[in-house]
Amino acid sequence: MKPILFEFYFVKVYGYGLMITLGIIAAIFLLSYRSKKMKYNEDDIWDMSILVIIFGLIGGKVLYIVTDIKYIIEQPSVLKNIGNGFVIYGAILGGIIAVYLYCKKKRWNTLSVCDLLVPSLPLAQGFGRIGCFLAGCCYGRVTTLPIGVEFSRSPFAPANVHVFPTQIFSSVFDFMLAFFLLWYSRKERKKGRVFSLYLIIYSIGRFLIEFLRGDPRGSVSIFSTSQFISLFIVVIGIALFNIERIKANLRK
């Protein structure tokens, strides 16, 4: 693909970085547009967005270090590349922590804000996966099917090997999820329903796509690290979706 999209004088514009930037911008503007309808203060939403981005980047990096600690101990130089090595579940957790802290400060309902925020998340992820495709990271297993692609200039994927375009699969899935959540949230729902659906659907999709991934990554028993985490996230999402029913049964 094209890790470097183009050069402007002495500045190199990397496809991955550009797509991440576009994803963040699109996500923030979508959040800003939706928050105005919900009568939130625009400045507060932008402040929260910045906090979510910072915590998300930290969370994604920390979980990457935790899951690949053996490799990092052997090759500590990989940490010099700040833009390389993120785990999306760590970023999601970091973002949730940021939302909780900000909501606590503003005395907002955390679940309501999560419902407001969450359609922006798969939208940003969709752009990010296009960036992965341009860079060649997160590539798929070797395949003989005609839908396979070959990378020739990627610093990550093996050169001239026919592999599944898992990045594109993920990107299409993420964009579809974003549109579904926007559609679902058009009607008034119980607090936490939109957020919990994101957790459930994204985790199931990620679990399935992981079977096609061929890049080196952490594992837990027969599962990849992301698949292992996905199992717990699905359970959490289902519990959150039915939280009122669970509370009612506990009161009996």
Residue 158 is classified by DSSP as P
Domain count of the fold of the chain: 1
Dist CA 96 CA 198 (whole Å): 13
The tens digit of pLDDT for each residue in 3-50 reads 777 777 778 888 888 899 999 999 999 999 999 988 899 999 999 999
Residue 129 lies in a domain: yes
Mean pLDDT of the chain: 89
| Angle subtended at Cα 128 by Cα 227 and Cα 36, rounded to the nearest 5 degrees | 105
Residue 147 is classified by DSSP as T
Tell me what pLDDT residue 6 has.
76
pTM of this structure: 0.90
Residue 70 lies in a domain: yes
Residue 248 lies in a domain: no
Residue 241 lies in a domain: no
Residue 154 lies in a domain: yes
Please name the residue that has the structure tokens 């996500």: 27
| Angle subtended at Cα 135 by Cα 178 and Cα 224, rounded to the nearest 5 degrees | 65
Domain ranges, residue 168 = 4-189
Residue 252 lies in a domain: no
Tell me what pLDDT residue 66 has.
79
- Alpha helices by DSSP H, 68-149: 69-74, 88-106, 110-117, 120-135
Percent of the chain with pLDDT over 90: 64
Residue 66 lies in a domain: yes
Residue 163 lies in a domain: yes
Residues of the chain under the 50 pLDDT cut: none
Residue 5 in contact with residue 13, Cβ under 8 Å? yes
Dist CA 201 CA 173 (whole Å): 10
